[in-house]
Amino acid sequence: MKKTPKTSRAHKTNKNQPSTSESEIPNDHAATSKSEAEQPKMSRSRRSFLGKVTAAALAASVVGIPKLIQSQQEGDLPGGTDLAERGCATAPGCDIEILTPTGRANVQLAKRVTAAIFDRSMGVPAHPCNGDEALYSNRNYIGNFTKALRKINNFGEVDPAAYCALLKAVRTNSPADFERVPLGCVPCNNTKDTDGAETDEQALESKYTQDQAVPNAQPYSNSSDGTTLSSADEARIYGGSVNTDAQDQAGQQQAIDDQASSVPNESESRGGITDASRNRQRRLGDPQGGLAYQLENVAVTQLAAPPPPALASADVAAETVELYWGALTRDVPFINYDSDPTIAAAISDLNARFKFYAGLPQYEIVPPGRTPRPEPRGFPTQPLTPLGQIPGPSNNITVKTLFRGFTKGDQIGPFLSQFLIRDVPFGPQTFPAKIQPAVAQDYMMDPASWLFVQRGCMPSPLPLLPTPRLISNSRDLSRYIEFCFVTQPYNNALGLLMMPPDPQRLDGGGYGIPFGPTNPYLHSCTQEGFVTFGMTHILALIQKAAFAAHTHTWHEKWFVHRRLRPEEYCGWVNFDFRGERDYPIHSVLGTSTAIPKIAAKTGGYYFLPQAYPEGSPIFPSYTAGHATAAGACVTILKAFFNDLAPIPNPKQPNATGTALVDYTESDANRLTVGGELNKLAANIGFGRDLAGVHWRSDNAASILRGEDVAISLLEDWGFTYNENFAGFEFTDFRGVRRTGIGRSR
């Protein structure tokens, strides 16, 4: 007997749900709050979605699904018998729900197919890059990431054959081709290098400062006159004669053979940098991670980062100046930024010469037919520079914006997010906020140590101080970010958000922030969330968001941009400024007042002082893994909790990191959950800049990319709920209030 559709089911497919406030960006469902009903050229019913499936290759396997979903929507029992007519006492068996076990399994298949079609309907954008790879292909790919690949000279330039082997693997996606990429320290962690000599930093200091014949050198065009070097010039610059093709091929084959000779000890690899791992070859950082397919979320090619600044641009020069000042102020306590003279000098220099830097293009990259949103450009300023614009004469870098993120919340309150400085109540345990800090020492400031690391050799581990302290300066922040587990900052934030204040606890408990206003159990008298819309749900989505964010950003890193790291660029700066080599460094960099300070710090060199002995990881710079995961995980937290709730009684570490003190400035009562979560993402992302391993544009683009990944994940989960859920509500990183995200479908 046919039954009237149930109200609870009809509510889920209501096509007249109110639209959101983002009418100015009408088409991008993964990056806007528009409901499913507003998606362009896409059916608004699950049956119509499945009609598209049956028209495709999946027709045979899903032909019965529309009827199953219709049965679920209209409240029919298998066989057409209504449970209410049979009465509670006469229902046979234990499994008495409205769908049979087989029916539920089939409906789950239908929902997965429907969600996949929903994701695919977003379209695929272009993936432009900055053009450096093609521009400098005849200059040993100086515009791209080549760290740990085989080098051809004392300047750390890559062997073109090694880089081309990487490009071949990128093109073919072949695991075997990735295994054939020639690395530059010792093949597959042999104890000796290819010449049979013991390999360590001290030996390299003498070995690589003498003239030597270097294989595989390629001529390049001088940037000043556009001419091609003669054979004599090649020999003079490269320190010897140029190999023949036969010699090149023989050397490449020998490197491939050597590379297969041994592999690292897995326990040492997992343990990170230790004395046991010193001098070993560092391996490429999981390039195949960018090829992983996802069963949730849009494909990695359906989101695109805008091209980063080019090697020869003034934008890269401006970003480098910020990094130099970050290195020069690494040990200045955050609480002393107002009074420190080096901080004041950094602000003056950036305002005088680099304030009008743009960084990212004006708009994001979106699929055809969708309206792009503006990107954050330049350095953060007060007043806040509108998105899509570069700072104007009245927008200035201040102590409240230096080294901070681009959102409004980043500029309110102390430098560090409240979620980074408090002990964390995690169930019956407390996770202390104090870290074991690193010795105040910088690295890679001379040619020998820089080249040692660029070849991919593992240096000595970071020396640590014995006494824990709170994160109180950017060296401490760099230390925390280097070794925290991927989702650790966001799991910690979850503990502080969930746990109410508790005077019985030694840590005092957390903030006890309520769930967001659309949580379906918020006003229920009989139920509360746990598996869905509770702790299990939130924890699961934080981890899923981090994985999805990293697969997306790893695809951008290895398969689109291959952007060089700041330490590589500053190597070119050093050799160019010292007159040893000609590189396309924009002249504005030389006007910075940071330059003589860097030379004084490094003993006459211009390398970027690194917070880590090993410098960056062995994967390209753009987009940034930490920042993309930060944007994604913070978005999950903002979605579940009331992000407009205030954060009371803000604190900040004292200058020595021994205790928290009250933050008493005029904006102390303006901190919110959303603002401090945004600041957490910025501290994690831009904290990598302060370590010297990322660019500002890496992190600005990546935080937004992570947000889009998380929103796509939340939208997919809307297909899974039994609850009547109107969708998540929160303010995004661009300051737009989002509603209806991931509503029940």
More confident position, 92 or 31: 92
Of the residues 276, 301, 326, the one at which a domain ends: 301
Mean pLDDT of 485-508: 96
Q: What is the pLDDT of residue 514?
A: 97
Q: Which whole number is the average pLDDT over 650-670?
A: 98
Band of pLDDT at residue 571, cut at 50, 70 and 90:
very high
pLDDT (tens digit, 9 = 90+) per residue, 599-647? Answer: 999 999 999 999 999 999 999 999 999 999 999 999 999 999 999 999 9
Indicate if 145 and 104 belong to the same structural domain. Answer: no
Same-domain pairing of 105 and 21: yes
In a domain, 709, yes or no: no
- Residue 716: is its pLDDT beyond 90? yes
Q: What is the pLDDT of residue 2?
A: 39
Phi, psi of 435 (to 5 degrees): -120, 165
Q: Name the H helices within 557-578.
A: 566-577
What confidence category does residue 264 fall into, taking pLDDT thresholds of 50, 70 and 90?
Answer: very low
pLDDT computed for residue 14 by the predictor: 41
pLDDT the model gives residue 641:
98
56 in any annotated domain: yes
Residue 652 lies in a domain: no
Over residues 582-588, mean pLDDT: 98
Residue 527 phi, psi (nearest 5) = -140, 160
The model's confidence at residue 249, banded by pLDDT at 50, 70 and 90, is low
Q: Which of 261, 282, 301 is the last residue of a domain?
A: 301
Give the per-residue pLDDT at 280.
Answer: 86
What are the pLDDT digits (tens) for 123-135? 999 999 999 999 9
Residue 270 included in any domain: yes
Q: Domain tally for the chain?
A: 2
Residue with tokens 């950094």: 346
- Half-sphere exposure at residue 344, Cβ-oriented, CA atoms within 13 angstroms: 5
Cβ neighbours of residue 148 closer than 8 Å, sequence gap 6 or more: 183, 184, 185, 281, 282, 283, 284, 454, 455, 456, 618
| Residue 704 in domain | no
Of 7-11, 252-256, 549-553, least confident by mean pLDDT is 7-11
Taking the alpha carbons at both ends of the chain, their separation in whole angstroms is 26
* Whole-number pLDDT of residue 94: 83
Residue 40: predicted pLDDT:
39
Answer yes or no: do 105 and 158 share one domain.
no
Percentage of the chain lying above the pLDDT 90 cut:
73
**pLDDT value of residue 87:** 55
Query: Would you call 430 helix, strand, or coil by DSSP?
Result: strand
- What are the pLDDT digits (tens) for 131-186? 999 999 999 999 999 999 999 999 999 999 999 999 999 999 999 999 999 999 97
What is the identity of the amino acid at 692? G
Q: Which residue has the higher pLDDT, 195 or 494?
A: 494
pLDDT in tens, 393-407: 999 999 999 999 999
Q: Are residues 75 and 136 in the same domain?
A: no
Same domain assignment for residues 148 and 75: no
Amino acid at 312: A
* Mean pLDDT, residues 701-705 taken together: 97
CA distance 307 to 304: 9
**Domain range for 194:** 132-301
Q: Answer whether residue 742 is part of any domain.
A: no
* Structure confidence by residue, pLDDT tens digits, 506-543: 999 999 999 999 999 999 999 999 999 999 999 999 99
Q: How many residues can be counted in the chain?
A: 745
149 and 35 within one domain: no
Same domain (yes/no): 87, 136: no
How distant, in Å, are the alpha carbons of 240, 310, 576 from that of 134?
27, 12, 21
pLDDT band at 98 (very low <50, low <70, confident <90, very high): confident
pLDDT band at 246 (very low <50, low <70, confident <90, very high): low
Token pair belonging to 553: 């950003």
Cβ neighbours for 23, distance < 8 A, ≥ 6 positions apart: none
* Of the candidates 120, 14, 48, the residue with the CA atom closest to the CA atom of residue 744: 14
**Predicted local confidence at residue 212, as pLDDT:** 32
Report how far residue 649's alpha carbon sits from residue 197's, in angstroms, rounded to the nearest whole number. Answer: 60
Q: What is the pLDDT of residues 442-458, one digit of tens each?
A: 999 999 999 999 999 99
Kindly provide the b/e burial profile for residues 100-128, where b requires at least 16 CB atoms within 10 angstroms of the residue's own CB: eeebeebbebbbebbbbbbbebbbebebe
Task: Judge whether 184 lies within some domain.
Answer: yes
The pTM score is 0.82
What percentage of the chain carries pLDDT values higher than 70?
75
Q: For residues 82 and 355, which has the higher predicted lDDT (pLDDT)?
A: 355
Task: Please tell me the distance from the alpha carbon of residue 730 to that of residue 738, in angstroms, as a whole number.
Answer: 5
Mean pLDDT estimate for the chain: 83
Name the band, by pLDDT with cuts 50, 70 and 90, for residue 93: confident
Comparing CA positions, the residue from 609, 622, 271 lying closest to residue 458 is: 271
**Residue 159: predicted pLDDT:** 97
Same domain, 74 and 223: no
- Do the domain assignments include residue 27? yes
Q: Domain end: 301, 333, 356, which one?
A: 301
Site of tokens 């925290």 = 484
Q: Are 733 and 678 in contact (CB under 8 A)?
A: yes
Tell whether 168 and 111 lie within a shared domain.
Answer: no
Burial label, 50 (beta-carbon count in 10 A; 0-12, 13-18, 19+): buried
One domain for residues 93 and 144: no
More confident residue, 329 or 233: 329
Q: Please indicate, yes or no, whether residues 144 and 180 belong to a single structural domain of this protein.
A: yes
Task: Render pLDDT for 43-84 as a digit per residue (tens, 0 to 9).
Answer: 334 333 433 443 344 434 444 445 555 555 454 444 444 544
Residue 202 confidence (pLDDT)? 46
Considering the domain architecture, whether residues 96 and 190 belong to the same structural domain is answered as no
**Residue 194: pLDDT over 60:** no
Nearest to 131 by CA among 563, 422, 485, 537: 563
